[in-house]
Structure 1
Amino acid sequence: MKKIISAISFLRKINVFFRYLKDEKVSIIKKIKTGFLFGFAALYLLSPIDLIPDMIFGLGLIDDGFILVHIFNMLNEELKDYDNKIKEEKSKIVEIKDYIIKDEN
């Protein structure tokens, strides 16, 4: 059940996913890995080829669900780490709002 909730959480963080792919600080290897996983999930969902055919009522849908939940869970964990790192970096930024510059001349 926890993995299903995590997979749904990924769908809610789709904007973070695209920000992740655009971020220059993220290594190209990680971008390729996450892009591949997302692409594989989309293709598997749309593909008529399954591990267990959908014609076998119930079982065909279960394998689709299991694979998609697993992939989305992996993507969600990666995005959670990325989002936490971004929040940590933002918390280190110090803003000075009030300052005075005096000219000594």
Structure 2
Amino acid sequence: MEETWNTVNSLARKLDALSDRSDEQRWTLQALKLQEEAGEVAQAVIGALGANPRKGFSHDWDDVRKEACDVALTALVMLARMGGDPRRFFEEHIRTVAERGTGRSTPA
């Protein structure tokens, strides 16, 4: 996982270095990029199901998996671009979600 976070943080630094926009503008644009990637997952699912009569079976389920990875990576890069400690924030959030799923209460 260390290599993953190194890559995420490196991508965030590179993107920020290429931008002259304010923090909030960069974060907003990254959120829009995340939405674009989610749309590509939907497009791949439609293609895997052959649900577009014009395109037929244009994708397979591995394409869907790849697009889902793009969504996850884009979201992690967004966290990194927003500052703080994205890894800690993400891991704490995962713990909170996992505890909700098990019915255990979280300590205050």
The question of a shared fold, defined as TM-score above 0.5 by the shorter chain, is answered with: no
Normalization by structure 1: what TM-score? 0.38
Normalization by structure 2: what TM-score? 0.37
Greater RCO, 1 or 2 (C-alpha within 8 Å, sep 6+): 1
Greater radius of gyration (CA): 1
